[in-house]
Chains A and B, each alone.
Chain A
Amino acid sequence: MLNKYRNYIIAILCFLAVGVIGVLVIVPALGLVRDEYEKLTSDQEILRKLTEKANKLASLNEPEIRSQLAIANSALPAEKESFGIISGLDYLVATAGGRLESYAFTAGPEERILKRSVKMAPFTVTMSGGSYALFDFIDQVYKSLRLMGVENISLIDGVATLKMATYYQALKENLGEIETPLEDLTESDRRGITEVTNYALVTTTPALEPVGKPNLFGP
């Protein structure tokens, strides 16, 4: 009897053996191959990003970036630099034909945060000189390379009180992952930097006091 079904038994046993091998060996092996393939794909993606980034970095024009950064830093520094603003305002009000009566900086929770962690620091300016001095002053404020804005204005009997704001952007603490791609400057970014390039840098160089000595550091 066993002899009669010998061939069938062998075939069934073979199928079973293949099934067991399939479950115990082939399926895990397939899993390993799939994992390796996924890792390879991910590595290749990292390599693509890195190569792209390296090529982009190599093609960047460093002097151009440095000049853009110099302008951008003057427009949007990393610190509030309140002192520079105060002396700049004094100059702008005087140029507009007015007189700076007072100013006040309010720090802390009133600061608003804009795009890319740009902080807005509010301050108040009181100036005299009438409506035309006020209009000229605002015009110059908006053309100043150090970005400032006006939130609201109140002019009563020739004395104007302006709620203004200055902007600054703290430096980032790290650059993140090495494969993080470099962002290109968009058309709107280029327009922004070109616009501020035409603005005036308000600098107030303190006048030299005559001391009656040709050499200040001489005996």
Chain B
Amino acid sequence: MAREINLLPSKKEQKKKKNMIPLILLVVTMGIMGGLFILAQILVVMRKDTGKRIINAQEMVAAYKEKEVLARLVKDKTVGITGVLLDRFDFPTLFKKYREIIPPESTLTDLSAGRDGRISATVRTPSAEILGKYFTSLKIFKGVIIDSISGNKDEGYQAIVSFNAK
């Protein structure tokens, strides 16, 4: 005769399982709390250790205080120097270029120049040809304006010219 096997849990077992739920919840809660406590303790210990290492590192840095002062001063000064070098208008290069184009027979009598790069120059030349040569050479600059030309063959010529050096 075939024997019946009941695969469903018995009522007793079901009741037992239901009774386990609160217990599991409590264990999980306690586990989380315990885990958090342990984690917090680990972090506290790590912080204490880091604190000690910070103090050591601070002592090391403090031992090099003099070197630090020097290094910082050098940095400030070099940045300052570079700033000044960039801020200065390069008059020497400008005048070097300008000097090369002034004909040797002529004389530069008046000049005005500013850091905006606008130059105005008065040049005296003995002849019109030399004056023409000077005007041609001025083409290396931008915005050349001949403000005035005066003079004659006997006394020579005078020209006031302005241009942009930038």
Chain B residues in 8 Å Cβ range of A60: 67, 71
Chain B residues in 8 Å Cβ range of A40: 43, 46-47, 50
CB distance from A49 to the nearest CB of B (A): 9
CB distance from A143 to the nearest CB of B (A): 8
Indicate if the CB atoms of A72 and B50 lie closer than 8 Å. no
- B1 interfacial contact with A, CB 8 Å: no
Indicate if the CB atoms of A151 and B114 lie closer than 8 Å. yes
Q: For the complex, what is the distance from the CA of A177 to the CA of B88, rounded to whole Å?
A: 34
- B146 interfacial contact with A, CB 8 Å: no
Q: Given A116-B76, A147-B81, are A22 and B29 neighbors across the interface (CB < 8 Å)?
A: yes
- A124 interfacial contact with B, CB 8 Å: no
Indicate if the CB atoms of B72 and A175 lie closer than 8 Å. yes
- B149 interfacial contact with A, CB 8 Å: no
Chain B residues in 8 Å Cβ range of A175: 68-69, 72
Q: For the complex, what is the distance from the CA of A188 to the CA of B96, rounded to whole Å?
A: 25
CB distance from B70 to the nearest CB of A (A): 5
Interface size class of B (residues with CB under 8 A): 35 or more
- B9 interfacial contact with A, CB 8 Å: no
Give the contacting residue for B50; candidates A44, A132, A152; CB below 8 A: A44
- B84 interfacial contact with A, CB 8 Å: yes
- B57 interfacial contact with A, CB 8 Å: yes
Within B1-47, the residues touching A (CB, 8 Å) are 15, 18-19, 21-22, 25-26, 29, 32-33, 36-37, 39-40, 43-44, 46-47
Give the contacting residue for A185; candidates B74, B95, B114; CB below 8 A: B74
Chain A positions 146 through 157: 1 when the CB is less than 8 Å from some CB of chain B, otherwise 0: 010111111111
- A107 interfacial contact with B, CB 8 Å: no
Indicate if the CB atoms of A149 and B88 lie closer than 8 Å. yes
Within B74-90, the residues touching A (CB, 8 Å) are 74-85, 87-90
CB distance from A154 to the nearest CB of B (A): 5
CB distance from B32 to the nearest CB of A (A): 6
Within A50-95, the residues touching B (CB, 8 Å) are 50-51, 53-54, 57-58, 60, 62, 65-66, 68-69, 72-73, 75-76
Within B47-74, the residues touching A (CB, 8 Å) are 47, 50-51, 53-54, 57-58, 60-62, 64, 67-74
Q: Given A76-B80, A135-B95, A151-B115, are A54 and B50 neighbors across the interface (CB < 8 Å)?
A: no
CB distance from B142 to the nearest CB of A (A): 19
Indicate if the CB atoms of B50 and A47 lie closer than 8 Å. yes
Q: Given A138-B95, A189-B78, are A50 and B72 neighbors across the interface (CB < 8 Å)?
A: no
A residues whose Cβ falls under 8 Å from a Cβ of B:
7, 10-11, 13-15, 17-18, 21-22, 25-26, 29-30, 32-33, 36-37, 39-40, 43-44, 46-47, 50-51, 53-54, 57-58, 60, 62, 65-66, 68-69, 72-73, 75-76, 114-118, 120, 131-132, 134-135, 138-139, 142-143, 147, 149-158, 160, 167, 169, 171-172, 175, 178-179, 182-183, 185, 188-193, 195-196
